Amino acid sequence: MNRNSMAVLSKLAKRNPAEELPVYRLAVVGDCSTQHLSQAIRGTGIIHDVNIEIFDADYDQISAQIDDSSSELYSFAPDGVFIMMCTEKLYSRYLSTRADERVNFAQNEYGLISRRWNTLAGKTKSVIIQSLFCEYDDRVFGSFACRLPGSFIYQLRRLNMLISEGAAAGNNVYPVDFSFLASEMGYMTVKSPIVYGMAKLPFSTEYIPQAAEAVVNIILALKGKSVKCIILDLDDTLWGGTVSEDGMEGIQIGELGTGYAFSAIQTYMKELKNRGILLAVCSKNYEDKAKEPFLKHPDMILRLEDFALFVANWKPKAENIRYIQSNLNIGMDSLVFIDNSPFERAAVRAAIPEITVPEMPEDPAEYVNFLRRENLFEAVSYTPEDAGRTLLYRAEAGRRQAEKDSSTYEDFLRSLDMHAECDSFSSFWYPRIAQLSQRSNQFNLRTVRYTEADIERIARDSAYITRYFVLHDSFGDSGLISAFIMHPCDEESLFVESWFMSCRVLKRTMEEFIVNAMISAARRAGYKKVIGEYIPTSKNAMVSNIYSKLGFTDLGNGRFEADVASFVKNETFIGWY
Amino acid sequence: MLQEKEIIDRLNEIFAFVFDDDSIKITRATTSNDVDGWDSLTHVTLIGEIEEAFGFKFMMKEIVGMKNVGEMIDIIAQRAKK
């Protein structure tokens, strides 16, 4: 039986998940039967260690659930609402549209869809996961339909585009691209006229697990589970052949013959790097031999500066991966390890169960298509800053060298000449603040994840006191590295609803600087107390005691209090920018 | 053509899995009334698993027309590819 067949997933869905699993509350509404899809989403969540609690609305109740403030959907208090609309229903609405009205079909459909989004946004803070339509055409006109604005496929494609544009303009809508997935897999695989006819299922039973996975990938990214670094082998992974034996001239790379497959994977990796995913090398090799192609080979697409870290030696790979992970200071479960050798993959998997190790195909020609289909790199945000992330980590390596060269740690901190920029949230920073809340797992006191729309709402609400922090030093700009959000809990006290920080700037006395800023913000607004809270997760133990270390009094139960008047400023090596 | 005995053994395994009941014993006379949890929802899952296991697709009239496991076995016997 298929490992992740519908039956397996529905069985998993019925199981009671471990209590410590993070919970995501998902409301599912559709114009088709969504029970199987819901079960598969829940089952897939359990495989990925998220307890997705589901409210699955009755058949064809999208508007009824969304328009009525007292509906089950709203009383369920969802974190996300998944709106599943199927092509079959769209087609039948198209058929009942008058011929002369069909040119406006997509626009009218989009009007309805965007009204639902607005209604939801007015009543809840939940994100919206909106299905795109699988491409279908009745071939009444053949390919001529592509130049006929009133044809179904013309209108369907326009509608998908309108949904994408609407999602790009707003901040709380995440389309799930069933259109792309259906063209990748084929409409005949994805759909089954029999199960649609009999049970109104939007997908064939064999495809439902993949459709569910597409939805779960978005939820995982929203929960902060995303890939941050790809660790790459070299020989027969990034080029063909063995550089230490064949020499730099002998490796396969470039336009010709088998080299093309390796150029393709290098190009793919470069794109991922440019979108903010770090690359690192982990190769059993002589370091100079391994670096030579990156420096001298004219056909190489990746260059040394594309890598945050380059590790080539003869130690076991698991050991090198642990070194890379601690050096970059990111979670092991945010790493992907890519190696052509089944032996190395198995060894790494056995030694480090948290890491993702794709079972690469034997033929390098299939590498890129295989990795594309794994969809390992789902994102829920993108900022131009992402492209420069490798530079940030390389500057970090420079700082570590400076630390080694300094006689004391204090000397090192002084030599960095650090200045922080600190202000309340402004629109330029909304995307980056939201993204940091989603990506920070270790230094995150309450692990509340915010979307851009949440951040905008908070920034505009005068009840909140917010600050973001950008750190500059002699090695450059670390970008936005921390933020906190406070709101009053009574007339005298402020509650720190969120405080998260990038681990890149740990132990630079940034924490001290931020807590000082918290207290002075509270003082300026006339509050007497600041209450902090620590909510433990499996990842954030490092900050369990941070408030007491920085001058708060431990009240027990993870709560801490600082008295504004008597607070003694923490010593910091960071000046105001 | 597959032997009836083999089909019923393999089917029994699928039923046990889909309905989460290892003690399940299907016969030719078994109907949806005899199996806990065999409703329209699980029926779709069951059909999907059988199609996957035996390598063929049921036709619509077969899915609608099957009165009991016996008729299911007869269809599988004629059409199974694995």
Q: What is chain A's mean pLDDT, rounded? A: 93
What integer pLDDT is reported at residue A3 of this predicted model?
56
Put simply, the answer to whether A197 touches B60 (Cβ < 8 Å) is yes
| Domain stops at, among A175, A197, A222 | A222
Where are the alpha helices (H) located in A206-258, listed in sequence order? 208-222, 243-250
C-alpha A466/C-alpha A455 separation (Å) is 10
C-alpha distances out from residue A217 to A170, A212, A309, A375, A448, Å: 20, 9, 27, 8, 19
Top CATH class, B4-79: mainly alpha
Does residue A326 belong to any structural domain of this protein?
Answer: yes
Put simply, the answer to whether B52 touches A10 (Cβ < 8 Å) is no
Does residue A217 belong to any structural domain of this protein?
Answer: yes
Q: Is A355 exposed, middle or buried (0-12, 13-18, 19+ CB in 10 A)?
A: buried
Number of separate domains in chain A: 3
C-alpha A323/C-alpha A313 separation (Å) is 12
What integer pLDDT is reported at residue A2 of this predicted model?
44
Q: Are residues A53 and A117 in the same domain?
A: yes
Where are the alpha helices (H) located in A124-202, listed in sequence order? 152-169, 178-185, 187-190, 193-199
Q: Once rounded to an integer, what is the mean pLDDT over residues A14-28?
A: 90
The side-by-side arrangement of strands in the sheet containing A418-423 is: A553-556, A559-563, A529-533, A493-501, A476-488, A465-473, A418-423, A574-576
Q: Give the one of A197, A198, A205 whose C-beta lies nearest to B45's C-beta.
A: A205
What integer pLDDT is reported at residue A255 of this predicted model?
86
Say if residue A162's pLDDT is above 90: yes
Q: Are residues A414 and A364 in the same domain?
A: no
What integer pLDDT is reported at residue A435 of this predicted model?
93
Does residue A315 belong to any structural domain of this protein?
Answer: yes
Instruction: Give the nearest chain A residue to B17 (CA atoms).
Output: A7
Does residue A380 belong to any structural domain of this protein?
Answer: no
Select the more confidently predicted residue: B71 or A2: B71
pLDDT in tens, A461-473: 999 999 999 999 9
pLDDT in tens, A282-325: 999 999 999 999 999 999 999 999 999 999 999 999 999 999 99
Put simply, the answer to whether A14 touches B52 (Cβ < 8 Å) is no
Q: Are residues A234 and A313 in the same domain?
A: yes
Say if residue A171's pLDDT is above 80: no
Q: Once rounded to an integer, what is the mean pLDDT over residues A35-45?
A: 96
C-alpha A150/C-alpha A100 separation (Å) is 8
In chain B, the N- to C-terminal Cα span, in Å, equals 10
Say if residue A496's pLDDT is above 70: yes
| Domain stops at, among A222, A247, A266 | A222
Does residue A317 belong to any structural domain of this protein?
Answer: yes
Q: Are residues A436 and A547 in the same domain?
A: yes
| Chain A contact set for B52 (CB, 8 A) | 1-2, 5, 206
| Domain stops at, among A341, A374, A407 | A374
Instruction: Give the nearest chain A residue to B20 (CA atoms).
Output: A11
Domains of chain B, by residue range, sit at: 4-79
Put simply, the answer to whether B45 touches A36 (Cβ < 8 Å) is yes
C-alpha B58/C-alpha B54 separation (Å) is 11
Q: Are residues A459 and A421 in the same domain?
A: yes
Q: Give the one of A7, A35, A198 whose C-beta lies nearest to B49's C-beta.
A: A7
Q: What is the CATH number of the domain that holds A242?
A: 3.40.50.1000
Under the banding of pLDDT at 50, 70 and 90, the label for residue A1 is very low
pLDDT in tens, A362-381: 999 999 999 999 999 998 88
Put simply, the answer to whether B44 touches A195 (Cβ < 8 Å) is yes
Instruction: Give the nearest chain B residue to A205 (CA atoms).
Output: B48
| Chain B contact set for A195 (CB, 8 A) | 44, 47-48
Give the gap in angstroms from C-alpha A199 to the nearest C-alpha of chain B: 8
| Chain A contact set for B48 (CB, 8 A) | 5-7, 195, 204-206
Does residue A26 belong to any structural domain of this protein?
Answer: yes
Say if residue A494's pLDDT is above 70: yes
Put simply, the answer to whether A1 touches B57 (Cβ < 8 Å) is no
Q: Are residues A260 and A312 in the same domain?
A: yes
pLDDT over 90, % of chain A: 83
For residues A187 and A134, is the Cβ–Cβ distance under 8 A? yes
Domain residue limits at A339: 229-374
pLDDT in tens, A219-255: 999 988 889 999 999 999 999 999 999 999 999 999 8
Q: What is the CATH number of the domain that holds A170?
A: 3.40.50.1110
Give the gap in angstroms from C-alpha B28 to the nearest C-alpha of chain A: 23
| Chain B contact set for A11 (CB, 8 A) | 17, 20
Among chain B, residues having any CB pair with chain A shorter than 8 Å are 14, 17-18, 20, 40-42, 44-49, 51-53, 57-60, 63-64
Q: Once rounded to an integer, what is the mean pLDDT over residues A517-533?
A: 96
| Chain B contact set for A209 (CB, 8 A) | none
Does residue A379 belong to any structural domain of this protein?
Answer: no
Instruction: Give the nearest chain A residue to B46 (CA atoms).
Output: A7
Give the gap in angstroms from C-alpha A6 to the nearest C-alpha of chain B: 6
Does residue A467 belong to any structural domain of this protein?
Answer: yes
| Chain A contact set for B38 (CB, 8 A) | none
What integer pLDDT is reported at residue A398 of this predicted model?
81
Say if residue B70's pLDDT is above 60: yes
Best of B17, B39, B49 to substitute, by most chain A Cβ atoms within 10 angstroms, is B49
| Chain B contact set for A6 (CB, 8 A) | 45, 48-49
What integer pLDDT is reported at residue A459 of this predicted model?
96
Q: Once rounded to an integer, what is the mean pLDDT over residues A110-130?
A: 95
Put simply, the answer to whether A1 touches B20 (Cβ < 8 Å) is no
Least confident of A4-8, A88-92, A240-244, B32-36: A4-8
Give the gap in angstroms from C-alpha B29 to the nearest C-alpha of chain A: 24
Upper half-sphere CA count for residue A500 (Cβ side, 13 Å) = 25
Q: What is the CATH number of the domain that holds A555?
A: 3.40.630.30
Identify the H or E element spanning A500.
Answer: strand A493-501
Give the gap in angstroms from C-alpha A138 to the nearest C-alpha of chain B: 21
Under the banding of pLDDT at 50, 70 and 90, the label for residue A504 is confident
Three-class SS state of A553: strand
Q: Are residues A342 and A412 in the same domain?
A: no
The sign of the CA dihedral A418, A451, A208, B33 is positive
What integer pLDDT is reported at residue B24 of this predicted model?
93
Give the gap in angstroms from C-alpha A533 to the nearest C-alpha of chain B: 43
- Which of A157, A167, A152 minimizes the C-alpha distance to A121? A167
pLDDT over 70, % of chain A: 99
Q: What is chain B's mean pLDDT, rounded? A: 92
Rounded (5°) CA angle A1-A194-A109: 115
